Structure 1
Amino acid sequence: MTPHDFSNEVPGSFAIPLLEDLDTLGSDLDQLWQRAAVTAPRQSVMTGRTAALPAAEFTRLYRCCMEELERLSCLDQGIRPMGRGAVNMLCYAVLPCRTLREIIGRVIEFNDAMEDRGGEISLEESGDTAVFSMQVPRKRYDNPALLVDITGLYFYFQLFSWMVSRRLPLSEVGVVYGKPGKHYPLMELFERPVSFGAVANRLAFPGDCLDLPSTRSLTELERIIDHFPFDLSAGAASGRASPSQIRLLILDAIQSRREVPALETAAQLFHTSPATLRRRLREGGTSYSEIRAQCQREIAERLLSNRELSIESIAEHVGFGSDRAFRRGFHSWTGLSPSEFREGLASKR
């Protein structure tokens, strides 16, 4: 399966099945849309009139949709969702492990401690193949539950890959569900066809990968914990960072009002070294600082079109420590002060 390169946009068709499932479940899509801060009208996306969404907006929308689907799925099952806190604790719990085998063993122990919130997780070795299985008992094995379980499998795939600093070479991705009646592009994240009707939700990979050493430290984990698991575009990129994918990472951080990760953190998220990331960006004719400045400028110019926002609030939103620093930075980008740029927008209306 060919890896996706979403560049700066993701087809709107990726969002439609998620929204349709949530609408069927009676979710408040208007509230979800507002929380995800998507600029295009919802109906325009759902009817296909909006062909694509900015990649950062789609990433936020995907996250909001999955949080809602997990909440509804757990409500149906009568259990509590794992929650972000438990997911973070799991990441810290596996950190001292020395090999992938130990990492998966610790995941199983953690999952057992979660009791009904974690379902059943196991590791089996058969010949040259290792199989990681995740089974969550459900009252209904419908499309929303399928998406929740696929996202769970992808989280573990990302965690294992990050811990051993390489993308785990999957030989199979299987789910217990029957083949859905509609296409979910998100299933292509693993870059392998998903097998339906399997005995369990599972990931199969070469057994010798279990002996891969863990290479991560507490400092590295603390740098990425707020960004993990990584977003759709980078996850589908086989760990090869490109300027467009770095742009997606930075845009998403700024628009979500999170701290922009340092270059070293971005390199970890792409399972590569800082030196390699610098070289790849240089080959693309840019640098990490240049991409960050371009993203800050793009968002600042958009926010300045809203006259209800103060210069101070915009400066904070795009990551400047003071409005004075923002004014200097904005002038270096455009040759204008933020106020002059805003007045210029007003005169064109």
Structure 2
Amino acid sequence: MPKTITLTERFGHLVTTPSPKKKIERDSISVSLVEAALQCALKRGVAREGLLAAAGIAPATLDSPRARVSPVQYGNLWNATADALDDEFFGQDTHPMRRGSFVLLCHAALSSRDGAQALGRIANFMRLVLDDLRFEPDIDGERVRIWLADKGEPKTMFAYATGFILVYGLLCWLVGRRIPVLAAHMRCAEPVDSDEYRLMFCNDLRFHAARSFVDLPADCAELPVVQTPATLKRFLRDAPANFIVKYRNPDSLAARIRTRLRQTAPTDWPEAESIAAALHMAEATLRRRLKQEGLTYQTIKDALRRDLAIARLAHTRETIPQIADALGFAEPSAFRRAFRKWTGVRPADYRREG
């Protein structure tokens, strides 16, 4: 049996030696999910101050409902909360998912032949470590449905999301690609931050369902498992920050635009006409298709600047003027105003205290 590795050992890299160059090119996470994790800990007598310090999240960040944190910060919070509770499911099941369970789950699924076998092994393992929530794959020629079978009253959306992220994140890594989520129906009531959960799952996220389930495309069951023990080591080093964030649709026009923008310094980001030409379409077509996705080119750029700013503030020693200049702001004051508009707090509030 593989050696059990604690979350501290597994995620220590995230806390001590984050790589700014690597991590700044990621999305961000609503402070509402930070609050949800902290509430899980508080119910079991663990104060938030130590968890926030371990995550590198300034307490003032929680004062604004619009505030966001980087995936690395949230991954560190995930780590710290699981360590404090000795539970990788944050005390949301009557049976704790003890530290090291996810590592053993990875080893159990790694030798699978394809997505279907991997999903079966993942579901069987989760059945051994949780009592109240089960993941039951139902595979047919039209889709792969994962039932989230729970006992009694519906769980919170945060509980469903915590479990699904572990299962889905591992499955995507095993087959070497991001699997689209087609639909997600949950028994629970719609939370106030449902839009944030739609970013994690998909646009077709519904609530008050008779049974909870998530649908994936049928072909993911046939995808071969491509990972090895060597790649598993790298995967665990960066988990869970490497699979927490998921855009609505990786094949959408917005996702293609984000990919191009990430490959260029913000000071050199092209105008809409130029990026439309690079994508072989007219500017009017680009605007029309983005409107269908509920976005504009400017909102995509603003969101990406916001996320780059959050990551730089959290994980680098760059000064605010340096960050403002790197992100293409003419003056630090303009950056401060934009950041406060985006998140509701000052840039300095994202600096780690202590």
Query: What is the TM-score of this pair, normalised by structure 1?
Result: 0.55
Tell me the CA shift for residue 119 of structure 1. 3.8
Tell me the CA shift for residue 91 of structure 1. 0.8
Q: Deviation per CA, 1:96-145: give whole Å up to 9, x if none.
A: 11111111222233334x1654743322135512212232436x5353xx
Q: SS of the counterpart of 1:83?
A: coil
**Aligned partner of 1:172 among 183, 205, 217:** 183
Q: Deviation per CA, 1:69-113: give whole Å up to 9, x if none.
A: 934323xx3x2x22341211111111111111111222233334x
Per the alignment, residue 48 of structure 1 pairs with: 64
**Aligned partner of 1:103 among 91, 95, 118:** 118
Equivalences for residues 205-216 of structure 1 within 5 A: 205-216=216-227
Q: SS of the counterpart of 2:199?
A: helix
Against the structure 1 CA distance between its residues 51 and 65, is the aligned structure 2 distance closer, same or farther, given a 3 Å change threshold? same
Q: Deviation per CA, 1:131-165: give whole Å up to 9, x if none.
A: 12232436x5353xx31221211221111111111
Q: Deviation per CA, 1:173-209: give whole Å up to 9, x if none.
A: 2222122255462452124342213344322122232
Equivalences for residues 265-280 of structure 1 within 5 A: none
Amino acid of the residue matched to residue 121 of structure 1? F
Amino acid of the residue matched to residue 138 of structure 2? E
8 A contact 2:175–2:224 mirrored in 1: yes
Q: SS of the counterpart of 1:130?
A: strand
Tell me the CA shift for residue 13 of structure 1. 4.2
**Aligned partner of 1:34 among 53, 56, 60:** 53
**Aligned partner of 1:141 among 138, 146, 154:** 154
Per the alignment, residue 94 of structure 1 pairs with: 109
Alignment partners' CA distance in 1, 2:113 and 2:123: 16
Q: SS of the counterpart of 1:141?
A: coil
Against the structure 1 CA distance between its residues 162 and 49, is the aligned structure 2 distance closer, same or farther, given a 3 Å change threshold? closer
Q: SS of the counterpart of 2:92?
A: helix
**Aligned partner of 1:73 among 74, 77, 92:** 92
Alignment partners' CA distance in 2, 1:123 and 1:50: 36
8 A contact 2:165–2:243 mirrored in 1: no
Against the structure 1 CA distance between its residues 10 and 228, is the aligned structure 2 distance closer, same or farther, given a 3 Å change threshold? closer
Q: Deviation per CA, 1:208-259: give whole Å up to 9, x if none.
A: 321111111122112222323444675438498969989xxxxxxxxxxxxx
Alignment partners' CA distance in 2, 1:96 and 1:155: 18
Against the structure 1 CA distance between its residues 200 and 65, is the aligned structure 2 distance closer, same or farther, given a 3 Å change threshold? farther
State the aligned residue count: 238
Alignment partners' CA distance in 2, 1:29 and 1:84: 20
Alignment partners' CA distance in 2, 1:111 and 1:51: 33
Bigger mean CA deviation after superposition, 59-68 or 26-35: 59-68
Amino acid of the residue matched to residue 223 of structure 1? R
% identical aligned pairs: 17
Amino acid of the residue matched to residue 215 of structure 1? V
Tell me the CA shift for residue 169 of structure 1. 2.0
Gaps of 5+ in 2: 1-22, 264-311, 320-354
8 A contact 2:40–2:91 mirrored in 1: no
Amino acid of the residue matched to residue 211 of structure 1? E
Alignment partners' CA distance in 2, 1:50 and 1:211: 40
Alignment partners' CA distance in 2, 1:115 and 1:9: 30
**Aligned partner of 1:195 among 202, 206, 211:** 206
Asked if 1:123 corresponds to 2:142, the answer is: no
8 A contact 1:14–1:184 mirrored in 2: no
8 A contact 2:183–2:215 mirrored in 1: yes
Against the structure 1 CA distance between its residues 177 and 53, is the aligned structure 2 distance closer, same or farther, given a 3 Å change threshold? closer
Q: SS of the counterpart of 2:189?
A: coil
Structure of higher CA gyration radius: 1
**Aligned partner of 2:230 among 219, 231, 244:** 219
Per the alignment, residue 18 of structure 1 pairs with: 36
**Aligned partner of 1:82 among 93, 97, 120:** 97
Amino acid of the residue matched to residue 133 of structure 1? W
Could you say what the CA RMSD is over the residues aligned between the two structures, in angstroms? 4.0
8 A contact 2:30–2:67 mirrored in 1: yes
Alignment partners' CA distance in 2, 1:153 and 1:49: 24
Alignment partners' CA distance in 1, 2:160 and 2:115: 22
Against the structure 1 CA distance between its residues 189 and 104, is the aligned structure 2 distance closer, same or farther, given a 3 Å change threshold? same
Amino acid of the residue matched to residue 239 of structure 2? F
